[in-house]
A and B are shown apart, each in its own frame.
Chain A
Amino acid sequence: MKGSGSDILIIGIGNSGRADDGLGWAFVDRIRESLPDRVDYAYNYQLQIEDAELISHYSRVYFVDAHIMEWDEGFTLDPCTPKANQGFTTHELEPGAVLYLAETLYHKKPEAFILGITGLNFELKTGLSEGAEQNLARALNYFNENVLNLIT
C-alpha cells in the first residue's frame, strides 16, 4: 500500500499458491507500477470484517478476484452494492458484505466495483494457467483503457 493521500483502492484477493486463485494478486502485481498517485492497492487472502475499516478510508474501491464463471471477455466488471445477507461463511466475506459493514459501523459508503477474472485451475501450484493468463491480459487492457485512463 502507498499510504495517505490516496482515495481509490484496488484490492487483489486470492492465494498465489493455488494456481488461478492468484489472479487477484497477479492483477495488482502487474498494474501497481502504473497506478496514479491517488490510487492505492492491497493484497488480501480473503476479505475479512476488518476490511470494512480499511475501505472506509477510500471513496472508491475495486475488488479483484478469481471467478469460476466464464464470460466471452474472460472477465467482468460490475458495480458492487452493500448486502446485509452475507451468506453462510464469515471467514471470507463477500465484497457486498464488507461494504455493508463499512456503512453500518463507520458510516462510509465508497463507490465499489468487482472485477471478476475467470480462473480455470485451482490446484495446489504456483503460476496461472494459460487460459487465466489470457483472461488476465484482457482484464488489464480493459482496466487501463476504461478505468485508469479516466483517473487524473
Chain B
Amino acid sequence: MSQKLVIDPVTRVEGHGKVTVHLDDHNKVKDAFFHVVEFRGFERFIQGHPYWEAPVLVQRLCGICPVSHHLAAAKAIDQIVGLDPADLSLPAQKIRKLLHLAQIFQSHALHFFYLASPDLLFGYDADPVKRNVVGVAMEYPALAKKGILMRKFGQEIIKMIAGKRIHGISATPGGVHKKITVKERSYFLEDNETPSIDTMINWSVEIVDFIKEYHGKNKAFLDTFAAYPSGHLGLVNKENGFLELYDGNLRATDFEGNVTLDDIRDVDYNKHFYEGVEKWSYLKFPYLKHLGREKGWNRVGPLARINICDGIETPLAERERQLFKAETNGQINNMTMHTHWARLIEILYCAEMMKSLLEDDNILSGDLHRKGERRNEGVGVIEAPRGTLIHHYEVDDKDRITRCNLIVSTTHNNEAMNQAVRWVASHEMSGKPRVTEAMMNQIEVAIRAYDPCLSCATHALGQMPLELTLYDACGNIVDERIRQ
C-alpha cells in the first residue's frame, strides 16, 4: 500500500511549512515536497499606497528580519527619488550598513544559539523535549547567556538607529532620519550592561572555533548530510568581488564554480530571472532564464555568499574564510550543513565591520539626506540574513505604488530546500517500516540549515500544533500525531 507522510508544520523554522513524503507499495520513497501553505499577498496589499510608506509597511512581513525588508525597500525608494546607492551621503550609507550588519548579527546569533545548537549539542535523535533552547539553557547556561547578549547587542544597535528593536524606522527616501551621537556610540564601544563590540568579536571567534571543533568530531555527518550539487547566488562587492551584504553586483556560480551570472547590476535582476510556480506551494521557484528551471536554480544565504565571494575585507573573518575554503581545496562547497559554519564566519565579519563603522566619525555627521530627479521605478537588492532579497516597485505620477515584486531569500532557496527534503527522504526514510521521531527531525534539520522564513506574522496563542499524518493510496488517514 503506498503512503503519504505529512509533517505539518515544520518546527523551529520561521512560520509554517509542511513536508509530504510519498512512499510506494514497498515503503520506498517516490518523492518528497516542501510546501509553503501560508499566503501573504503583500505585493497586492501594498499597491495604492504612497511610495514613501513602502519601507515602513514591508517590515510587517516579518518579525525576525524587518530591518532587511526596511532597507531593501528603502534602496528601491531611493531610486524613485532619483538616487542610486552611491548617491546617498556617506554618513547615511554607513548608518544604514551598521543597521544592516546589526540585523544580520542578531539574526545569525538567534539562529545558531536557539535553532541550530540544540541539534548540534544534543544530536538530532535526542528527545525533542530536551532538544530545544530550553534544553540548551539548562545544560549550557553560559552558552545560552552569550546567545542572549549577542542577540541583544545587535538589537540595541537597531534600537539606537531605528528607535525600536522591531519595526523601527531609520531609512527615509534618500537617507536616514537621524545621526548617531557620541554618547550612543560609546555605549557599544565600552563594556556596560551590554558587553562591548570587542567582546562580541571575541565571542564570535569562540563560536567559529566551536563549529570547527564540532566539524572535526562530526565530519562524516556535516560533510554528507543533505549534501547535493547546486548553483550559488549572492551579492559581491562591485570593486573587488568580496563579500558584500548591503550593496553590490549579483554573481552566481554553478555547483563546480563556473560563473553563471557574471556580476550584473542588481537593478537588472529581472532580465536574468524567471519565477516558476507549482500547484502545491505558494512559494515560487526563481531560476536563471538562460539555464532553465531544471538547472538554473540557486542556493542563497551564508554558504552561497562565502562560496561566490573572492575574499572578506575584515582580517579575522577572511582568515576563517580561507580555512573554510581549504576544506574543499578551494572548490565550491555544496555541503548543506556547512551553512552553519558559513553563518558563523559571517557573524564574525559582522562584528568586525560593526566595530569599524562604530569607530568611524562619519556616522556622527548630520549630513543625512540627498535629493535627485524623480523616477517611476526602483529596485532594491540586499543580502538579508537568509540570502538575496529583492524589492521592486513601480509608481505612478501621483506617487502611488502600482506594482510590487518581492523575491525573498527563502523563495530563492525553495528548490534547494526541496532538494534537501528529497535527500533525507531517500537516504534516511526509504524502506523503513515506520517513521521515527529522529527521521522527522532529520527532515527539519535539513530545512533549518537554510533558516527559512515562511511568514511568522501571525502567532496567536493556541495556533501552532505539530501534526504528523500518514495517508494511504486512497487518501485515508492511517496514522496521525500532534505535538503541541
Residues of A within 8 A of B (CB): 13-15, 17-18, 20-21, 43-46, 48-50, 52-53, 65-69, 84-93, 97, 100-101, 104-105, 114, 116, 119, 122, 124
Instruction: Please give, as numbers and ranges, the residues of chain A lying within 8 Å of B141 by CB-CB distance.
Output: 104-105
Given A17-B60, A53-B148, the answer on whether A88 and B460 have CB atoms closer than 8 Å is: no
Cα of A91 to Cα of B459 in the assembled complex, Å: 10
Task: Decide if B221 is an interface residue (CB 8 Å cutoff).
Answer: no
Within 8 A of A (CB), among B112-163: 113-115, 118, 128-129, 132-134, 137-138, 141, 144-145, 147-148, 151-152, 155
Which 9 A-B residue pairings sit nearest by Cβ, starting from the closest? Answer: A17-B60, A45-B63, A88-B11, A66-B460, A90-B133, A67-B461, A122-B458, A90-B114, A88-B466
Given A46-B63, A124-B45, the answer on whether A119 and B464 have CB atoms closer than 8 Å is: no
Instruction: Please give, as numbers and ranges, the residues of chain A lying within 8 Å of B45 by CB-CB distance.
Output: 124
Q: Are B155 and A50 in contact (CB under 8 A)?
A: yes
Q: Are B134 and A86 in contact (CB under 8 A)?
A: yes
A21-B457, A93-B133 given; name 6 further pairs at CB < 8 Å: A43-B164, A88-B11, A88-B12, A89-B464, A92-B464, A104-B138
Residues of B within 8 A of A (CB): 11-14, 40-42, 45, 57, 60, 63-64, 110, 113-115, 118, 128-129, 132-134, 137-138, 141, 144-145, 147-148, 151-152, 155, 164, 166-167, 456-464, 466, 483-484
- Tell me the nearest residue of chain B to A122, going by C-beta: B458
Q: Are B63 and A49 in contact (CB under 8 A)?
A: no
Q: Are B129 and A105 in contact (CB under 8 A)?
A: no
Instruction: Please give, as numbers and ranges, the residues of chain A lying within 8 Å of B462 by CB-CB distance.
Output: 67-69
- Tell me the nearest residue of chain A to B164, going by C-beta: A43
Contact pick for A18, options B12, B14, B145, B458, CB 8 Å = B458
Q: Are B144 and A15 in contact (CB under 8 A)?
A: no
Contact pick for A124, options B40, B145, B460, CB 8 Å = B40
Given A68-B461, A90-B133, the answer on whether A124 and B128 have CB atoms closer than 8 Å is: no
Cα of A43 to Cα of B133 in the assembled complex, Å: 23
Instruction: Please give, as numbers and ranges, the residues of chain B lying within 8 Å of A21 by CB-CB distance.
Output: 457-460
Q: Are B115 and A49 in contact (CB under 8 A)?
A: no
Instruction: Please give, as numbers and ranges, the residues of chain B lying within 8 Å of A18 by CB-CB distance.
Output: 60, 457-458
Q: Are B167 and A49 in contact (CB under 8 A)?
A: no
| Binding site secondary structure of chain A | loop
Instruction: Report the minimum CB–CB distance from B116 to chain A (whole Å).
Output: 10
- Tell me the nearest residue of chain A to B453, going by C-beta: A91
Instruction: Report the minimum CB–CB distance from B108 to chain A (whole Å).
Output: 14
- Tell me the nearest residue of chain B to A126, going by C-beta: B60
- Tell me the nearest residue of chain A to B456, going by C-beta: A91
Given A104-B137, A104-B138, A105-B144, the answer on whether A85 and B460 have CB atoms closer than 8 Å is: no
Instruction: Please give, as numbers and ranges, the residues of chain A lying within 8 Å of B13 by CB-CB distance.
Output: 91
Instruction: Please give, as numbers and ranges, the residues of chain B lying within 8 Å of A100 by CB-CB distance.
Output: 134
Q: Are B11 and A49 in contact (CB under 8 A)?
A: no
Q: Are A89 and B152 in contact (CB under 8 A)?
A: no
Given A15-B60, A101-B134, A124-B41, the answer on whether A92 and B457 have CB atoms closer than 8 Å is: no
Instruction: Please give, as numbers and ranges, the residues of chain A lying within 8 Å of B145 by CB-CB distance.
Output: 105
Given A50-B148, A105-B145, the answer on whether A15 and B459 have CB atoms closer than 8 Å is: yes
Q: Are A15 and B461 in contact (CB under 8 A)?
A: no
Cα of A18 to Cα of B133 in the assembled complex, Å: 27
Cα of A114 to Cα of B460 in the assembled complex, Å: 13
Cα of A85 to Cα of B483 in the assembled complex, Å: 11
Instruction: Report the minimum CB–CB distance from A54 to chain B (whole Å).
Output: 10
Given A45-B167, A53-B152, A105-B145, the answer on whether A85 and B134 have CB atoms closer than 8 Å is: yes
Cα of A89 to Cα of B155 in the assembled complex, Å: 21
Q: Are B42 and A124 in contact (CB under 8 A)?
A: yes
